[in-house]
Amino acid sequence: MSLILVFVDNDRGSFSPTGPEALTPAQSLADHLGARLEVATVGEAGRTALEQLGLPGHVVSHPILSDYAPEAYGEALAQLADHVGASVMMAAGDDRGAEVMAHAATVLDRPLVANVTEIVTAEETGATWEMMRTRWGGSLAEKTRLRSSRKLLTIAPHTFPAPGPGANPPRPADIFPPELPEHLARTRVVERIRLTEGLTLATAPVVVSGGRGVGSAENFAILEELAELLGGVVGCSRVATNNGWRPHSDQVGQTGTRIAPDLYIACGISGAVQHWVGCMASQQILAINTDPEAPLVTKADYAVIGDLHEVLAAVIAEIRAGKP
Amino acid sequence: MNILVCVKRVPAPGARIVLTDDGQDIDTRHLGFTTSPHEECAVEAAVQLTEKHGGSVTVLTLGPPEAVEQLRYSVSVGAHRVVLAPAPTTEWDPEATAAALVEAIGQLESDSPFDLILFGNESADSGGYQVGIRVARALGRPVINGLKGIEINGGEMVGRRETEEGYEVYRLPLPAVAGAKEGITLPRYPTLPGRLKSRRATIEETPVHLTPGAQEMVRLLNPVEEQTETIILGHGAEAAPGVVRLLEKVGLL
Ligand SMILES: Cc1cc2nc3c(=O)[nH]c(=O)nc-3n(C[C@H](O)[C@H](O)[C@H](O)COP(=O)(O)OP(=O)(O)OC[C@H]3O[C@@H](n4cnc5c(N)ncnc54)[C@H](O)[C@@H]3O)c2cc1C
Ligand SMILES: Nc1ncnc2c1ncn2[C@@H]1O[C@H](COP(=O)(O)O)[C@@H](O)[C@H]1O
């Protein structure tokens, strides 16, 4: 029977938010192929979380793996894949999943298909498969063909739901001790710097975002004011970042942050695809733009046509007037 | 401090990605070309490191003759030496791309290795998230992806990587390899003297072998997007009451 091995990363004991998502397509694939599904995480700290998944599991354990160390993680997982005879290996395509799988694929001398959204044809594990994957951060889909007897894939984040808690009763996981050369400790985390921030772009319920139409760094004050009134944060487009009006940590989009707030208020942003992929998961979108034909206006749920400075000033006045 | 940066020429689509009829490519007839913002920031980070520590920045691209445009741009923002590894397209799978870059790097490093090789965290178009890691492992050098901060301290590269709670710090012995994310630094705009210099810059060429890998693009497809009926809340300041009602409906007021 063939074996599908899923790597779920844990950071000091907790799975990453998107990590377990890869288990959902892996389980469907295992059912379809009649394959066995096993899971792995690195470091004893992740044992409890792994055992809660209730699947045959391996805790990869070695002194070098005391903290995140992508070179060593990739080497160790490649050894585990050989040890259990995995013909398919999967992980979430988040920062760590993508990085560790790239290392494992290189060690195993195999191709790696990144950000898979669907496995279209998979008759048996050894055959040629066709899959759908994303390009351009999700703006474009690609049908891809993979010819390899051993298949490594990452799953595009936010494509599949993670399995619900308690899907299977917990079961003990075994220990896998890889053999690692000492020098692989060279890429291990050496220090953490905590930034005590309250709301972040990724978690705020409302994001008031500005683009070229805002015009200057100072002009963002009115967006700050509205964000504060609504209990949200300020976001921006790449033009605002590139002009030095906002820090890159505010940027929404393909090379910025992907967000899914209850409401996204896009002020003076045209809606290029690279921006859209960052905000399209928002529950509601309100665009404020002088141009009724701007792509973001036509894609938004709500729009106000007009100068953003006038509109925001009026909205803030209206809110303040309504407050006792 | 000698630094190599690898960049990839990609089209710059605007509001919509239009495909050719056969679905094999983006219709680029009306598009400009660029590199990923991650790579643009990698070039800037490299230039800043050499401004501080001395040395030079080399930029390498694997692609068609037109990719010279991206090489010239990098000269206009401070790169010293630019190299084209000629290839009919950029559409090679990550294994093939990495192998060709390793070959090109081997030729460029005949004297001594680069202290640092920088990549983008992922390419803008095909986004395989792996070429830099494959190259580093082939060269036997340490590599870390996703850096939002980079410094050189003695014989080490100190990298910062963003996490949900702040930053992680890594220290890699040189020579090292890293993948940069946009935001690692703010790229400069080309100056007039920079542009003039870029026009005169010599483009070196280093021939490489390319063999198609095991991963093959069958076709590209536009993802289905749900059509939304946009509700216009009004024009200018008069729209304020409508906006406030929306804010109340969403539960923000
Ligand atoms: C590989 C790649 C990755 C990228 N990643 C990102 C990314 O992560 N995030 C991102 O944002 N971009 C990204 N971009 C850039 C993107 O392509 C666009 O260039 C950018 O999003 C445009 O920003 P903008 O909408 O602010 O500016 P513009 O496109 O210039 O639009 C300005 C808008 O403001 C409106 N306007 C002007 N004045 C006013 C006013 N007074 N009141 C109201 N409206 C007004 C105009 O009508 C227009 O619609 C990327 C590009 C590439 C090639
Ligand atoms: N054709 C290319 N020429 C030069 N560098 C490339 C090329 N393709 C990819 N790269 C580099 O490898 C990084 C990662 O690419 P990828 O694995 O495709 O996401 C990119 O950000 C570039 O720095």
- Residue A145's pLDDT is 97
Contact B237 A306 (CB under 8 A): yes
Cα nearest neighbour of A269 on chain B: B15
- Whole-angstrom distance, CA of residue A84 vs CA of residue A75: 15
Contact B250 A263 (CB under 8 A): yes
Query: Sheet harboring B81-86: ordered strands across?
Result: A191-194, B166-173, B156-162, B143-153, B176-180, B116-120, B2-6, B56-63, B81-86, B203-205
Ligand number nearest CA of B9 is 2
Comparing A163 with A323, the larger pLDDT belongs to A163
Cβ-nearest to A102 among B93, B134, B169 = B134
| Predicted confidence (pLDDT) at residue B83 exceeds the cutoff of 90 | yes
Q: Does B113 touch chain A (CB under 8 A)?
A: no
What six digits make up the tokens of B204?
């070196």
Place B129 in a pLDDT band, splitting at 50, 70 and 90.
very high
Q: Tell me the CA–centroid distance for residue A209 and ligand 1, in Å.
A: 11
Q: Tell me how far apart the terminal alpha carbons of chain B are, to the nearest angstrom.
A: 55
Chains A and B: how many Cβ contacts under 8 Å? Answer: 266
Lowest mean pLDDT among A49-63, A224-238, B109-123, B216-230: B216-230
A1 and A34 in contact (C-beta within 8 Å)? yes
Q: Give the rounded percent of residues in chain B with a pLDDT score beyond 70.
A: 100
Q: What is the CA radius of gyration of chain B?
A: 21
Number of Cβ within 10 Å of residue A267's Cβ equals 30
- Whole-angstrom distance, CA of residue A95 vs CA of residue B121: 9
The answer to whether the predicted template modeling score (pTM) of the entire model surpasses 0.90 is: yes
Question: What is the average pLDDT across B165-178?
Answer: 96
Pocket test for ligand 1, best of B33, B34, B125, B126 (most atoms within 8 A of CB): B34
Cα nearest neighbour of B41 on chain A: A242
Angle between helices B131-139 and A95-108 (to 10 degrees): 40
- Residue A263's pLDDT is 98
Lowest mean pLDDT among A125-134, A143-152, B140-149: A125-134
Place A324 in a pLDDT band, splitting at 50, 70 and 90.
low
Report the nearest-CA residue for atom 27 of ligand 1.
A212
Q: Mean pLDDT over all residues of chain B?
A: 97
For the segment B29-54, what is each residue's pLDDT rounded down to a tens digit?
999 999 999 999 999 999 999 999 99
- Residue A25's pLDDT is 97
Place B139 in a pLDDT band, splitting at 50, 70 and 90.
very high
Q: Does A270 touch chain B (CB under 8 A)?
A: yes
| Predicted confidence (pLDDT) at residue B80 exceeds the cutoff of 80 | yes
Our answer on whether the CB atom of A290 is closer than 6 Å to any ligand 1 atom is yes
| Predicted confidence (pLDDT) at residue B149 exceeds the cutoff of 90 | yes
